[in-house]
Amino acid sequence: MLAYTDTGNLDFWTSRLWHHQWLASGASFIMFGIAAYRKCSSGSGYPNISLSAPLPGIPKPVFAAVDSHEQCETKITTLENGLKVASQNKFGQFCTVGILVNSGSRHETKYPSGIAHFLEKLAFSSTDTFYGSKDEILLTLEKHGGICDCQTSRDTTMYAVSAEVKGLDTVVSLLSDAVLQPRLLDEEIEMTRMAVRFELEDLSMRPDPEPLLTEMIHAAAYRGNTVGLPRFCPVESVEKIDKKLLHMYLQSYYCPERMVLAGVGIEHEQLVACARKYLLNVKPVWGASTPTNVDLSVAQYTGGIVRMDKDMSDVSLGPTPIPELTHIMIGLESCSFLEDDFIPFAVLNMMMGGGGSFSAGGPGKGMFTRLYLNVLNRHHWMYNATSYHHSYEDTGLLCIHASADPRQVREMVEILTREFIQMAGTAGEMELERAKTQLKSMLMMNLESRPVIFEDVGRQVLATGKRKLPHELCDLISNVTASDIKRVTTKMLCSKPAVAALGDLTEMPSYEHIQAALSSKDGHLPRMYRLFR
């Protein structure tokens, strides 16, 4: 007999004993399950039982029933100061609440570009009332299991918090302070300058060029206006942006009429009560708002090309470096998300699909999209071919990004122009149904996430004052026909192309040749004859 005096060892052997007892009970349960299975399975004279039929002797399950319309309904209230409050109830002990502002890089026409980028980095810092530092905000949220984040895009700024439902009052109070009472201390602005410089440096060095190409394609498509203005703060603007300039911008755009308080996972009446308490009669730290200075410019599509000759040979060093590639993105004007043609364009984008040449296949992975079947599967030397659709309240841009060895750039561009021309052909019934099914499944799967529902509710209410429910969008997707795809593509091909090119551009065809190819019947580039090679 062994005698154990060490408490740790005793606990260990006690846990082992419990573990063996649990395994023994588990084994007996498994044996019982096997016996029950054999009893209901084929063989030994027992009948087969279909998976769709109930098992004999098992009581019929009773499921909770919820009114589908009540579950999906988005409730919207407009307060006396113009602030909209929108909520979507969702079961669970956590909620996501945030303030969305109709403000982004497209509104910086009268200011140095980069203000929205600065505000994103300065978000949830010290406030003029309760919070002396960002750490105090994070500690307050920690008590309710919460996290916070701020994201800016070309047309929207979003402040969001996820926390326990019982901390709703604290969350809305904190959001009100963060949005309307930021102190913008000199040391915070200086730290933001350092963060912006680092992000700009990282943007030019990262192996994935997609964010940089997106910037370039917008600059080419909307030269010098609205959504073509820089999303990231340019280097020359970093030192120009100070507290006075930020207050001037906030005074124009951070007014209640341009805001939505959105929440998911909470009761609408509770959210409205918190909004009245913390957002109704609050004076911002910058004084009274002056919405008369708001830039209401409509996006002007210009088309054009932005080239960046760059040595990409040392972008990804290490044991498995990415080979040197040249990246091309070609885009054409589509439509606003407020137009009826937005849904056919979304289906067209899904039909084109694409991705990386080394992407593993699988259900729903898009291996039967056109850019896989017609491009990546046929041209082994292409590393990437992906379709993107950017849509805003007054314009849109459908583009294809492709990557290949610098020596094969001309051939790659011609493949892309051919794909654009072939979009105008009649879509096959099977590929159209596949694209619509995939789009609906992606929509519904994404909307299972609480933060995604929050963003969807906030953005739709901010842009239109109401929300289209998922089943309404699915009905619109189902109604798209091959003639709709052909019609929107034919209209799109009438616009001038926007081109972004990054890398070794020695073999890059001219913009005029790309435009000629997209105006032709087959998408081929004009032939070039060289006396010397």
40 vs 120 pLDDT, higher one: 120
Confirm if 438 and 351 have CB atoms less than 8 A apart.
Answer: no
With residue 63 as reference, give the H or E element that holds it.
Answer: none
Tell me what pLDDT residue 4 has.
39
Tell whether the model's pLDDT for residue 318 goes beyond 90. Answer: no
Res. 27 pLDDT band, cuts 50 70 90:
very low
Res. 361 pLDDT band, cuts 50 70 90:
low
How confident is the model over 70-113, as pLDDT tens digits?
456 899 999 999 999 999 988 889 999 999 999 999 999 889 99
How confident is the model over 365-379, as pLDDT tens digits?
667 899 999 999 999
Confirm if 389 and 396 have CB atoms less than 8 A apart.
Answer: yes
Question: Among all chains, which residue has been given the structure tokens 């073509």?
Answer: 228
Instruction: Tell me which amino acid residue 512 is.
Output: E
Tell me what pLDDT residue 142 has.
96
Tell whether the model's pLDDT for residue 397 goes beyond 50. Answer: yes
Give backbone dihedrals phi and psi of 401, rounded to 5 degrees, phi first: -105, 130
Tell me what pLDDT residue 71 has.
55
Tell whether the model's pLDDT for residue 352 goes beyond 50. Answer: yes
Nearest-10 Cα torsion for 14, 18, 20, 24: 160
Closest by Cα among 376, 404, 95, 104 to 232: 104
Question: Among all chains, which residue has been given the structure tokens 């990231």?
Answer: 232
Closest by Cα among 159, 115, 166 to 137: 159
**Tokens representing 295?**
């830039």
**Confidence (pTM):** 0.84
Tell me what pLDDT residue 67 has.
57
Tell me what pLDDT residue 528 has.
75
**Tokens representing 57?**
């002797």
84/75 Cα distance (integer angstroms): 10
Confirm if 87 and 93 have CB atoms less than 8 A apart.
Answer: no
Tell whether the model's pLDDT for residue 437 goes beyond 90. Answer: yes
The DSSP output letter for 4 is -
HSE, CB side, 13 Å, CA atoms: give it for residue 68.
3
Q: What is the mean pLDDT of the chain?
A: 88
Strand ranges (E), 215-290: 259-264
Closest by Cα among 269, 514, 533 to 525: 514
Tell whether the model's pLDDT for residue 2 goes beyond 50. Answer: no
Residues 6+ apart with CB under 8 A from 236: none
Tell whether the model's pLDDT for residue 68 goes beyond 80. Answer: no
Closest by Cα among 505, 442, 451, 450 to 474: 442
Distance of CA 20 to the CA centre of its chain: 49
The stretches of 423-529 forming alpha helices (DSSP H) are: 429-446, 450-464, 470-478, 482-492, 511-519
Mean pLDDT of 40-60: 69
Tell me what pLDDT residue 66 has.
57
291 vs 499 pLDDT, higher one: 499
